[in-house]
Structures are given as structure tokens and as C-alpha cells.
Amino acid sequence: MRHEVRRLILLLLPAGIVFAAFFLLPMARLFLIGGSGKMGWAAYTAILTDDLYLSSLVSTFAVAAATTAATLVISGISGVFLQRHKFPGNAALVAMLTFPLAFPGVVIGFMVIMLAGRQGLIGQVTQALTGEKLVFAYTIAGLFMGYVYFSIPRTILTVMAAAEKLDPKLEEAARSLGASPWHVLRDVIIPGLKPAFISAGAICFATAVGAFGTAFTLAAKINVLPMVIYTEFTLSANIAMAAALSFVLGIVTWLVLAVARTAAGSSVAAAG
Amino acid sequence: MTDAGTPLAIALTNCAKTFADGTKALEPLDLAIHAGETVVFLGPSGCGKTTTLRIIAGLEEPDAGGKVLFDGVDVTHLPIEQRNVGMVFQSYALFPNMTVAGNIGYGLKIRKVADAQVKARVSEMLAMMQITKLADRRIDQLSGGQRQRVALARAIAVRPRALLLDEPLTALDAKLRDTLRLEIDSLLRSLGITAIYVTHDQAEAMALGDRIVVMEHGRVAQIGKPREIYQRPATRFVAEFIGTMNRLTGAVKNGVFTCKAGSLAWSEAPANTTEILFRPEDIRVAEGHETTGLQGKVAAAFFLGDRTRLFVEVGEAQPLVIESTARRDFSHGDAVGLAIDPRGLLVL
Ligand SMILES: Nc1ncnc2c1ncn2[C@@H]1O[C@H](COP(=O)(O)OP(=O)(O)OP(=O)(O)O)[C@@H](O)[C@H]1O
Ligand SMILES: [Mg+2]
């Protein structure tokens, strides 16, 4: 028994050291710095009372949540389709879908501008059709578009890998019991892909919360946390506030992901 | 809920199947399955059993020209979800995201049956399969035998018109297979449902089938009752695939078959017979001073308790297999006289 415990501790040691060195200690330090400014610990309450901070917090997590939802829907559908239907050019298309991963956020922001900016494609088309120029690159909608574009590839790849592992016999069994394609989707395919959706969704969400390059490029009217932190840090030299915001950013992200995971886990158990 | 009363008659006419990659899995095939009977598809791996079953289920369509009829109605292009056939797979294919009760009630829920009725039917099925205690278990908490019981219950719960089983017991160990085979047999009989059972285990086929369809290379080699298939195989393939066959080569003259081991009187022998076949139970070792026309030497003897399995060398490519119930010891090299019951002789 003692031996078992010792072995377990030994095995956990490397993970523990890394976790402490790269996660716990920085977070603790960040937390302390956050309380070390002119305002003291009030920096943390300011995040909830100050309009600018609070609204940026809310919009950051709102856009991340929307990005995650949209990405999962789009990638879920296309991932399953691409895995199921092998057509000529399938492999090339999948490879092509992957390349946004290689782009820095700045390039993605630039692409959003080319699409939805003042001289963008959408602007030109809408002007020709309605006489009004539709420009949304510099708003939260533009940011949302950039994030979705960036998140789709890895989500599609995750979904495809998971879709390949779905047991076709399960679908056949459901159909033999009278399940329509919609029932099969709801009761077999989506539950089967759920672990993939959870892990891909978590990565997608966390990336969208922290993405900076895209937000920076589209800067104009956008007020998301990474931008606010950047402003506090470099322009106002308010290091304590930047640290406090960073700490909150980390904690809230962790909370959201933990809650999502627990909820998904318990719904698996309760699905019967 | 659908009517459980009248079992379904199934007919395949001219059903061939060529897969997209060009594999010809089935030659044009005609098959009539009577209402309420249990038909077993038996054959070696890759002979097209599963493909035929999937065509009947509606998971595959036959090549152009083929037809599937349910009670005379053409269902060739009807998808499986509208055919109301129950399926049981070797891999169970239970829904991992539902409990045992959830699995069994799934088909009824899909049909929008009222909750109370679903519950009642599920408990009925659980009791019938003797798995009431497992109702709230998750699938990964079940043993293989329990899973197959759940799969059966799930397929039967919706009162399907026919039950299609693709090697349902192959994944289980021998002992459990015997128990479940008996259970399935009595289940099918009590339900009176039309059932098609795919297997490559001949003992299973013999025990369960009202009729057996022996398949070979995408063709039907023979259809018949187990006894007919065993005693009157239509082709060499059937004769050798099912049970053990002994073989002697030689020639017939004046009602006597002569081979290397000696001669055998057989008045009904067809004129140009060059080879005779017979089962181990139709040959025995001569006793005491009984004189027989055939002689051989024991090549190997295995005492099995109730009998001894002998391999007797008679100058043929294969030694003869004999199940002897004689109360005596056999050892390698013993010379034995052999007596064959002419009623068991076959020429193919
Ligand atoms: N989807 C498919 N595409 C191409 N060929 C296939 C497909 N399914 C089956 N086949 C081929 O068709 C033939 C018949 O297959 P089938 O699955 O019906 O055999 P079986 O009798 O059920 O064999 P087993 O006892 O191994 O299950 C085989 O040669 C198989 O390789
Ligand atoms: Mg098969």
C-alpha cells in the first residue's frame, strides 16, 4: 500500500513540477502583482465595477463562446461529411482546410479586412446590390469571423478523426429500430462525437479568449481583454492592473472549461 | 405499435450484389423464406452470408434486376428504417450513451410510444431475457453474454416483422454460446417470428435451423432441413463443409465396389462410380471373428470416454475417421476389419 503511494507520487512528480513551474507559480505571482499596484487589492474589484473592464470581460467571453458554437456546428457538419464521402480531391481539400493554422493572427486580421473592410469584398457586393456598403471588419463581428476562420481547421481535423472511429453498426442498429437520419444524428453520431466536440471546443474557446494578433490588427472599435491588458501594460504602464486582468482572464477561462466539461460528463451519464 | 401476429414471408428474386469496388459478392440468387421459420445461412468466410442478410434488411440494395419481397410486396428500395426488421450483430452494437433500459426502449421511443407503455414493454423484455437487475447499468458494465441478451431484447422490443441475426454468438466463449443458443432457440420458437440466422458454425446451424441455406462463393449450394443437408448433401462442397466425410476411391462391378482396402457389396451402386462417401457413424470396426471385405490399419486412436476416434489407414489420400464404441483398446498399427452400412453411402 505504502509502496503503491510512493510509486504514484514518483510518477506524478514530473507532471507536478511542470504544473507548478509553468502554471501555479506564475498564476500566484500574477495574483500578487495584481494586488500590488496603487489601488492595492481593489484592482480586482475594479474589474467588476469599472465599465470598461467589465464590458471587455463580457465581450471577450461572449465572442469566444459564439466562436466555439459556430465552429463546432460548421466543423461538425463538414468534418463528418469529409470523412464519409471520399471524392476526388478530398485529400487536397482537407489539406487546404488545414493551412489557416499556419497563419499568425495578424494575417487573419488582414484577411478579415480584405473580406469585410472598407474596400472589402462584402462591402463591394453589398454596395452593388443595395447601395449601402456593409463594413464590419473592425467590429466584434469581424473578430468573430476571424476567430471562426482560424478555429475551423483543427476542429475539423479532430472531428474527422473521431468520425472515423464511429461504429457504423451503431447507426445500422438505430436505423433497424426505425430511426430516421435525424434520429441517428441526434442519438448516435453526436453522442459519439461528443468527446471530440468537448476537447476541440475547449481548445477553440481558450484560443478565442486569448487571441491577440487578430484583435490587434482589427483594433478600431474592439474592446476585448487581451487588447485591454496590452493597453494597460504598454500604454498606461499599469502593470498591476494588467496582471489582475490576466489573472481573471485565466481563472474565468479555467472555470468555464471546467464547468463545460463537468456538464458534458454528467449529461453522458444521464442520457439513458 | 405494429402488429406482432402474422409472421413475414420473405423472398429474394434474382438478387446479385456487386460492390462499388467491383467485388462480386453474390451471384444472382433466388430464395424463399416461409413465414415463421428459422432459416440459417451457413458457409465459409466471405461466401456472402452477411451481404444477403443486409439485402434483406435493407442495408444494401441488390444489383439492378434483383427484388426483395416482404409478403409479396416489393420492398427493394425501402430503406431499413421503414422495413421493421430487428437486427442483432456479432459486435452487439449497443448504444454506449444509453443504459440497458434506454437501449431496449429506444425503438419504441422513436415510434413515439407513450412513456408508460415503453416502460411496461422494457420491463417485459428485461424479464424475458432475465436481465431485470441490469436495467440501469451502462453498457460498458456488462459482460458479453449480457450484452447479447440486451441486443436481442432491443431488437424484439419493437415487435419486428422478422429477426435478422448476424453471427450473434461468435464473440462469446464456447460454454456461453451453448447456453445462449438454447435460449435463442426457445425464444424464436415462442415468438413464432421469421428469423434469419447467419453463422459459420455448423453445430449452431443444425441446432437452430428449420432449414439451412448452405452458401459457397456467393451462390446457394443447397437449401434443406438439417437432416437432409447432412445425410443427402447435394454437392461435394456441402458434404465436406458439414460434418466429417470419409472417402474411398475405386470402381464398381456387378454390385461390388472395389478399392485398395478391399471390396464392399453395394447392390444399388450407380454404374460408373469411382468414389464413395460416407459419415463416420456409418462405418464400424468389425468385432471378433466377423469377416468383412474391407481391411485397414489404425494410424491413430483417441479415447474420448464414450467412444474412441480412430484414424484408419486404407491406402487412400486421407485415413478414414471412425467413431468406435467398441469396448476395447486400439493401438497404432492394429489391423482392423471394417463394416460399412450401405444406407449411408453417397456418390457425388
Ligand atoms: N462493402 C464492401 N465492399 C467491397 N466488398 C465487400 C463489401 N462487403 C463485403 N464485401 C466482399 O463481399 C464478399 C462477401 O462478403 P460477406 O460479408 O457477405 O461474407 P460473409 O459470408 O458474411 O463472411 P464472414 O463469415 O467472414 O462474415 C467478400 O468477398 C467480401 O470481401
Ligand atoms: Mg459476415
Of the two residues A137 and B36, the one the predictor is more confident about is B36
Q: DSSP strand E in B73-150: where?
A: 73-74, 85-88
Q: Give residue-wise pLDDT tens across range B178-226.
A: 999 999 999 999 999 999 999 989 989 999 999 999 999 999 999 999 9
* A251 and A118 belong to one structural domain: yes
Q: Is the CB of B200 under 6 A from ligand 1?
A: yes
Whether residues A255 and A121 share a domain: the answer is yes
Average pLDDT over residues A154-182: 94
Is A112 found in the same domain as A155?
yes
Q: What is the pLDDT of residue B328?
A: 85
**Same domain, residue pair A64 and A189:** yes
Round the average pLDDT of chain B to a whole number and report it.
Answer: 92
Which of A167, A183, A271 is the closest to B98 by Cβ?
A: A271
**Average pLDDT of span B232-247:** 92
- Residue A154's pLDDT is what? 86
Residues A125 and A7 in one domain: no
Chain B residues whose CB is inside 8 A of the A188 CB are: 95
Q: Domain limits at A22?
A: 1-34
For the segment A30-51, the average pLDDT, to the nearest whole number, is 86
**Same domain flag for A147 and A220:** yes
Q: Tell me the percentage of chain B whose pLDDT exceeds 90.
A: 77
pLDDT over 50 at A269, yes or no: no
- Over 70: is that where the pLDDT of B22 sits? yes
Cell triple for B25: 459478392
Cross-chain Cβ contact B95/A179 below 8 Å = no
- Render A214-271 in DSSP notation, one character per residue: HHHHT-TT---HHHHHHIIIIIS--HHHHHHHHHHHHHHHHHHHHHHHHHHHHHHHH-
User: Are A9 and A130 part of one and the same domain?
Assistant: no
Q: A155 and A85, same structural domain?
A: yes
Domains and CATH numbers, chain B: 10-241 (3.40.50.300), 246-344 (2.40.50.140)
Average predicted confidence (pLDDT) for chain A: 87
Verify that A70 and A28 share a domain, yes or no: no
**Cell output for B143:** 459482460
* pLDDT tens digits for range A116-152: 888 889 989 998 888 888 888 888 888 999 999 989 9
Going from the C-alpha of B42 to that of each of A205, B50, B86, B215, the distances in angstroms are 54, 10, 20, 6
Q: How many domains, chain A? A: 2
Q: What are A96-116's pLDDT values in tens digits?
A: 888 888 888 889 889 999 998
pLDDT in tens, B299-317: 999 999 888 999 999 999 9
- Residues A27, A138: one domain? no
Please check the confidence at residue B327 and state whether its pLDDT lies above 90.
no
What are the residues of chain B with a beta carbon less than 8 Å away from any beta carbon of chain A?
57, 59, 79-82, 84-87, 89, 91, 93-99, 101-102, 106-107, 110-111, 136, 138, 151, 154-155, 158, 160, 164
CA distance A82 to A79: 5
Q: Which residues of B touch A186 (CB under 8 A)?
A: none
Residue B23 CB–ligand 1 contact under 6 Å: yes
Q: Tell me the shortest Cα–Cα distance from A177 to chain B, in angstroms.
A: 5
Say if residue A209 is in the same domain as residue A141.
yes
Answer for the pair B125, B181: CB distance below 8 angstroms, yes or no.
no
A128 and A243: one domain? yes
ipTM, two decimals:
0.85
pLDDT at residue B4, rounded to an integer = 52
Please report the pLDDT score of residue A266 as a whole number: 59
Give the pLDDT score at B288. Answer: 75
Interchain contact, A176 vs B99, CB within 8 Å: no
**d(Cα B16, Cα A26) in Å, to the nearest integer?**
69
Which residues in chain B have Cβ-Cβ distances shorter than 8 Å to A172? Answer: 57, 59, 80, 87, 89, 93
Note the pTM of the prediction, 2 decimals.
0.82
Of all ligands present, the nearest one to the C-alpha of A168 is: 1
